[in-house]
Amino acid sequence: MRISDTAIERLRAAAEFPDLSGTRYRLMDKLGQGGMGAVYRVEDSVLERQIALKVINILDDQNQLAARLLQEARVIARLEHPGIVPVHDVGTLPDGRVFYTMKLVQGRRLDDPETALGGESECLRSFLKICEAVAFAHAHDIVHRDLKPSNIMIGPFGEVLVMDWGLAKVLGSSHHRDNAGPDDAVVGTPGFMAPEQERGDSHVGPLADVYSLGTILKFLLKQRAAEPVSRRLTAIVRKATEAASAARYASVQELASDITQYLQGGAVAAFPEGPGARAWRWIVKNRAWILLILAYLVTRTLFILWRRFS
């Protein structure tokens, strides 16, 4: 039988497809490929809906990766937040591979050139939603460790979802497990991971995520290259991405707070200003009222003068 070039690709995909026989899921197509797993669109035949199924595509004789995938599912299951994709089910396929299912997310990744980012305010509001999801995770002792534009999804209605918790780390005294694999002394993505991650430091904490969020903010601002970036925003990016973790924002909430202040025209912690600059900013922020009051004063003065001289 002759195998065409397109048939080669179909056969490759077919050989890789997970065996879903005996499960309630029906395979539809492959959505993407991650470090240790692939994600497929499947149909849940019981609830009659389409969901996503993530499965390891590495034959793992010692079950280390199975444990990691299970850990990933458990991490996500702990985080019930609108910015984090919910996990539905977890199990083992007939071919021995561990899988979990989750909500099928429609949308585009932040690094997709066709993702519509909108104006500066809209970009920053989307960024705040990312911060909210990450701060929520930190409040539950979970550090993402792989935040980057390709792990952020933007839905068709502006929803923001933080994806791929495969490298997440659970902190805390009784559950301090670094679930990096035996070959992963350094976890994260170059260009987005904090210096302490690149060095392979053993105590990588929430401040590493602060750094990564700073790189995402930088990415967002760069995407709007046609518009100049204000000095205050640049200062925020700089503070979030300081090489020394102690010099960064102390938490994701502090970073988010500065972004909120910026949006409201208020003072930002990352950009100290003198009294003159503060006063000018106060004037710009309240110019509508100032102009109204000035207009009133001018009108009243003119009226008084007219009365006196007429």
The binder of other proteins chosen from 32, 60, 140, 230 (CB under 8 A): 60
The binder of other proteins chosen from 2, 175, 307, 308 (CB under 8 A): 2
CA atoms within 13 A on the CB side of 103: 17
The binder of other proteins chosen from 15, 46, 244, 288 (CB under 8 A): 15
Question: Can you point out the beta strands (E) in 69-214?
Answer: 87-92, 98-103, 108-109, 142-143, 152-154, 160-162, 169-170
Q: How far is CA 180 from CA 54, 68, 166, 169, in A?
A: 18, 8, 9, 8
Catalytic residue among 44, 146, 164, 258: 146
Residue 114 in the binding site for other proteins (CB under 8 A): no
3-state secondary structure 148-165: CHHHEEECCCCCEEECCC
CB closer to other proteins out of 8 and 279 = 8
Reduce the DSSP state of residue 194 to 3 states and report it: coil
CB closer to other proteins out of 57 and 257 = 57
Residue 6 in the binding site for other proteins (CB under 8 A): yes
Residues counted in the chain = 310
Residue 297 in the binding site for other proteins (CB under 8 A): no
CB closer to other proteins out of 22 and 113 = 22
CB closer to other proteins out of 21 and 286 = 21
23-31, 115-123, 167-175, 291-299 -> range binding other proteins (CB under 8 A): 23-31
Q: Rounded to an integer, what is the distance from CA 103 to the centroid of its chain?
A: 17
CB closer to other proteins out of 26 and 222 = 26
Query: String of b and e for 222-258 (b: at least 16 CB within 10 Å)?
Result: eeeeeeeeeebbebbbebbbbeebeebbebbebbbbb
Residue 301 in the binding site for other proteins (CB under 8 A): no
Whether 178 is catalytic: no
The binder of other proteins chosen from 46, 59, 246, 288 (CB under 8 A): 59
Residue 175 in the binding site for other proteins (CB under 8 A): no
* Ranges within 84-113 binding other proteins (CB under 8 A): 94-95
Question: How, if at all, do strands 25-33 and 37-44 pair?
Answer: antiparallel
* Ranges within 25-54 binding other proteins (CB under 8 A): 26-27, 29, 33, 38
Q: Within 10 Å of residue 21's Cβ, how many Cβ atoms?
A: 10
Residue 7 in the binding site for other proteins (CB under 8 A): yes
Q: Rounded to an integer, what is the distance from CA 8 to the centroid of its chain?
A: 36
Q: Which residues are catalytic?
A: 146
Residues forming contacts to other proteins in the complex (CB under 8 A) are 1-8, 10-17, 19-22, 26-27, 29, 33, 38, 57-62, 65, 94-95
